[in-house]
Amino acid sequence: MTRIVPLVTILPLIAEIDVVGEVECGFVAFSQGKVTVPPVGELLFPRNKGEMHIKYGAIEGDDVFVIKIATGFFDNPSLGLPPFGGCMLVLSQKTGMVEAVLLEEGELTNHRTAAAGAVAAKALAPSSVERIGIIGTGVQARLQADYLTRVLPCRRLDLWGRSRANADQAAGDIARLGYDVEVVDDITTLTNRCQVIVTTTPAHAPLLRADMIAPGTHITAMGSDTEEKQELTPDLVARADVCVVDSLDQSRERGEVYHARKAGVITDSAIVELGAVLSGNATGRTSDDQITIADLTGVAAQDIAIAKAVLAKVVS
């Protein structure tokens, strides 16, 4: 019988799972070639500021495979609705039958995305981080700050957003996680002070340039998950001493590396996958004065990892 698992059941289970560890294992398996991940399915609804992604895949040797449908409709808050939605389908690799429908309404996607940011920071941040910078004021800004508490001891944070009201509200939420938060009025203030910077916006024009970034900075770019989105200029991507992506294949069609490739300033030889760095098969940061960038567009291996972990809790 197919299990229908509602959000009210899923939410408390997330706290019982080592999401960072599960996602890290997913990245390693992906870069070892153990995960079959077809191209992302996508529908864009520009008139309604909306988008839908389908990410799906299977890990070699698993009993199940996962199909994830995720939506983002960014005017929803004005309608009294959350901006994110979706569900995950867990099916048997042996029979093709649907074993579970996780009605996660975007929550598992949001948490696996935040966990990916934590994995990247754990692997690539400099040894001393005095201040974290978050660019953006939405759900992912809050969750990135939350998950960074699990991998970095730093509790001082700068926050920038286009709307001061939204930034102040996000800062209040992040402060409750134990951070000393300051809202800054310009991004340069943030880039001058922060050694780890996370971009979390749906920007269609770059927010960070090469001349804004000091040696030793790590940047995790989370927002550019479609061809149209961009948070970093190509010259910044090209300047990085270490440039990491979650998927080399996906970086050819979306993300910051896609735009840098299109501008002709970076090639495959300058890029490594995060899973390869985690497993020791590729070199990550080797000194504290390097600039490192993680361009994360989201891969199905993350969805498989968190869906399996939740379902294991449900059936236990």
C-alpha–C-alpha distance, residues 187 and 158, integer Å: 9
- Model confidence band, residue 187 (pLDDT cutoffs 50, 70, 90): very high
State yes or no: pLDDT of 142 exceeds 90.
Answer: yes
C-alpha–C-alpha distance, residues 160 and 143, integer Å: 15
> Which of the two residues, 135 and 268, has the higher pLDDT score?
135
This prediction's pTM:
0.94
The domain spans of the chain are 3-108+301-315, 126-298
Query: For position 316, what pLDDT does the model report?
Result: 82
What is the average pLDDT across 36-42? 93
CB of 111 closer than 8 Å to CB of 19: yes
Q: Dig out the tokens for 87 from the structure.
A: 């569900």
CB of 220 closer than 8 Å to CB of 197: yes
State yes or no: pLDDT of 52 exceeds 90.
Answer: yes
Q: Please list the residues that pair with 86 across neighbouring strands.
A: 70
Q: Report the top-level CATH class of 126-298.
A: alpha beta
Distance, C-alpha 221 to centroid of its chain: 8
Spatial neighbors of 137 by CB under 8 A, at least 6 apart, are: 159, 161, 162, 163, 166, 167, 169, 170
The helix (H) or strand (E) run that includes residue 117 is helix 107-124
State yes or no: pLDDT of 1 exceeds 90.
Answer: no
Query: For position 148, what pLDDT does the model report?
Result: 98
Tally of CB atoms within 10 A around 22: 19
Spatial neighbors of 280 by CB under 8 A, at least 6 apart, are: none
* DSSP line for 187-236: HHHHHHH-SEEEE----SS--B-GGG--TT-EEEE-S--STT---B-HHH
Q: What is the mean pLDDT of the chain?
A: 96
Distances (CA, A) of 314 to 3, 21, 260, 309: 9, 19, 43, 9
Topology of the domain covering 3-108+301-315: ornithine cyclodeaminase, domain 1 (3.30.1780)
pLDDT in tens, 259-272: 999 999 999 999 99
pLDDT in tens, 199-235: 999 999 999 999 999 999 999 999 998 889 999 999 9
